[in-house]
């Protein structure tokens, strides 16, 4: 069983005990360092249902009107910018894993107003149905949206997505409005800049360690699966008043060949005696992660850069070396054993992980009081009906295509009751 190591209590409360250290770890776009007591080893693990519910309770703003119901959860952080989370199910109570994070920026449907190329989609503020809100007439009022994937999965339209900015998400090419670009004049209900108490409440959700060895990062993280975490970076950890960045950390190797994309500007080691000593690493080093920052505000960094909402492609760059044929790859067992338990009304665990081409021995046990199945339709995996207390063992070979494959119980009504899961092939 995997255990999540957490830092007890909100991190900003801990900072009161280490004020001198945390004052060094403020957020400005420049990397800084501090000494601290080593934290527990970071452990990547999928969000629990309780954690998903906590995020849903906090991300409860609705930037849209007119009958629209968005398939994502939103949280205003300024008068013009909101953060959002997109899960595998629009209903948080049915969601099992986070797919994307992103920001929405108030604007108009003009090419001249598009923040940058990562904002692939424009959505109108007012529409009778969500599907009717895409794009619009030149100058229409609404939001520019950018998505950053936080997992490896396959979309409903068959695209394979990996962590990073999704430049193909629901594109709405904008028309040119020439010299006559209007200013957005609408005022969304609830849109406001967070006050310090609201910033602290939001920050309390990001309570997982991501570094060891005495490092104090200038950001707060939350693991969302085994290989990726999301983070918020504030203006000051000791006395936060604003959210500066929303971002993604992805475990990886310090090589140009394995850098997720150039949007991931910085590589950081998990373990270092001080934060500043964790930047970059040796060629082929695997003990760290790549970081991608999406600015959620307009501000000036300590090194004088002017930041506007969108991907910050100049944040603390650590250009990776070319490793060539010497790129390190983790040793992967050719055979793996997985177990899953079915009951009313869920799978435990909800997500199973394996690598492409592996030989798999899957043991499924029904711990419930009703008949259940564990079925992955796209892969032809099916236990068939399992009597209460019964165990069935299946053997199969993992597919060569990476991605997330949906699992369910095929008895009528069981999927709708929550018996859904997934098999993730990496």
The mean per-residue pLDDT over the stretch 261-281 comes to 93
403/255: higher pLDDT = 255
Beta carbons within 8 Å of 88's beta carbon, 6+ residues apart: 95, 96, 97, 98, 99, 153, 422
- Best CA proximity match to 392, nearest among 381, 405, 401: 381
Q: Determine the Cα–Cα distance for residues 123 and 107; give it in Å rounded to an integer.
A: 10
Calpha distance 296→259 (Å, rounded): 24
Q: Which pLDDT belongs to residue 259?
A: 93
Summarised one tens digit per residue, pLDDT across range 354-393 is 888 889 999 999 999 999 999 999 999 999 999 999 999 9
Alpha-carbon gap, residue 20 to 332, rounded angstroms:
43
CA 280 to chain centroid: 22
- Exposure of 25 in the CB half-sphere (CA atoms within 13 A): 25
Residue 14's pLDDT is 35
Using CA atoms, how far residue 72 sits from 134, 141, 326, in Å, is 15, 20, 41
| Phi, psi dihedral angles at 74 (to 5 degrees) | -125, 155
DSSP lists the bridge partners of residue 321 as none
CA proximity to 104, closest of 60, 142, 66: 142
Residue-averaged pLDDT of the chain: 87
pLDDT at 193: 98
pLDDT average, residue stretch 117-128: 97
Confidence class for position 308, pLDDT limits 50, 70, 90? very high
User: Partners of 8 in the beta sheet?
Assistant: none
d(CA 81, CA 191): 8
Task: Pull the structure tokens for residue 171.
Answer: 């594109």
| C-alpha to C-alpha distance for 83 and 277, rounded to whole angstroms | 31
* For range 194-204, the mean pLDDT: 97
Q: For the domain bounded by 335-425, which CATH number is listed? A: 2.60.40.420
3-state DSSP helix/strand/coil percent for the chain, to nearest 5?
Answer: 10, 30, 55
pLDDT at 326: 54
Q: Model-level pTM greater than 0.75?
A: no
Amino acid 25: pLDDT: 35
Count of helix runs (H) and strand runs (E) in the chain: 4, 25
Sequence spans of domains, the chain: 36-330, 335-425
The pLDDT-based confidence of 252 (bands split at 50, 70, 90) is very high
Nearest to 233 by CA among 189, 278, 299, 171: 299
Residue with tokens 């009751």: 417
């Amino acid at each position: 069983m995997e255990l999540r190591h957490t830092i007890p209590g909100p991190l900003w409360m801990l900072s009161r005990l280490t004020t001198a250290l945390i004052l060094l770890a403020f957020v400005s776009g420049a990397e800084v360092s501090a000494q601290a007591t080593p934290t527990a080893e970071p452990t990547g693990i999928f969000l629990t249902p309780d954690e998903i519910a906590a995020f849903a309770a906090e991300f409860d703003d609705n930037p849209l009107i007119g009958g629209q119901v968005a398939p994502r959860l939103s949280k205003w952080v300024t008068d013009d910018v909101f953060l959002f989370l997109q899960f595998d199910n629009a209903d948080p109570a049915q969601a099992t894993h986070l797919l994307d994070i992103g920001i929405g920026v108030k604007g108009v449907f003009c090419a001249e107003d598009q923040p940058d190329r990562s904002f692939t989609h424009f959505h109108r503020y007012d529409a009778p149905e969500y599907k009717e809100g895409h794009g619009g007439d030149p100058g229409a009022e609404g939001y520019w949206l950018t998505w950053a994937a936080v997992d490896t999965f396959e979309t409903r339209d068959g695209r394979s997505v990996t962590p990073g900015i999704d430049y193909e998400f629901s594109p709405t090419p904008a028309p040119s409005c020439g010299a006559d670009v209007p200013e957005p004049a609408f005022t969304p209900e609830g849109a406001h800049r967070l006050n310090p108490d609201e910033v602290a409440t939001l920050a309390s959700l990001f309570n997982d360690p991501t570094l060891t060895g005495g490092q104090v990062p200038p950001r707060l993280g939350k693991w969302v699966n085994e290989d990726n975490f999301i983070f918020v970076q504030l203006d000051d950890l000791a006395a936060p008043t604003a959210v500066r960045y929303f971002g993604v950390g992805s475990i990886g190797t310090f090589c140009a060949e394995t850098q997720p994309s150039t949007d991931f500007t910085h590589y950081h080691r998990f373990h270092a005696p001080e934060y500043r000593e964790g930047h970059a690493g040796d060629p082929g080093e695997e003990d760290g992660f790549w970081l991608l920052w999406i600015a959620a505000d307009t501000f000036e960094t300590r090194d004088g850069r002017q930041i506007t909402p969108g991907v910050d492609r100049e944040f603390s760059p650590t250009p990776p070396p070319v490793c060539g044929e010497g790129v390190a790859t983790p040793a992967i067992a050719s055979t793996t054993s997985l177990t899953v338990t079915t009951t009313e009304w869920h799978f435990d665990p909800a997500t199973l992980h394996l690598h492409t081409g592996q030989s798999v021995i899957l043991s499924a046990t029904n711990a419930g009081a009703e008949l259940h199945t564990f079925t992955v339709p796209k892969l032809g995996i099916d236990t068939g009906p399992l009597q209460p207390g019964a165990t069935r063992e299946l053997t199969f070979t993992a597919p060569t295509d990476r991605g997330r494959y949906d699992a369910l119980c095929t008895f009528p009504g069981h999927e709708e009751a929550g018996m859904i899961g997934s098999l993730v092939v990496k």
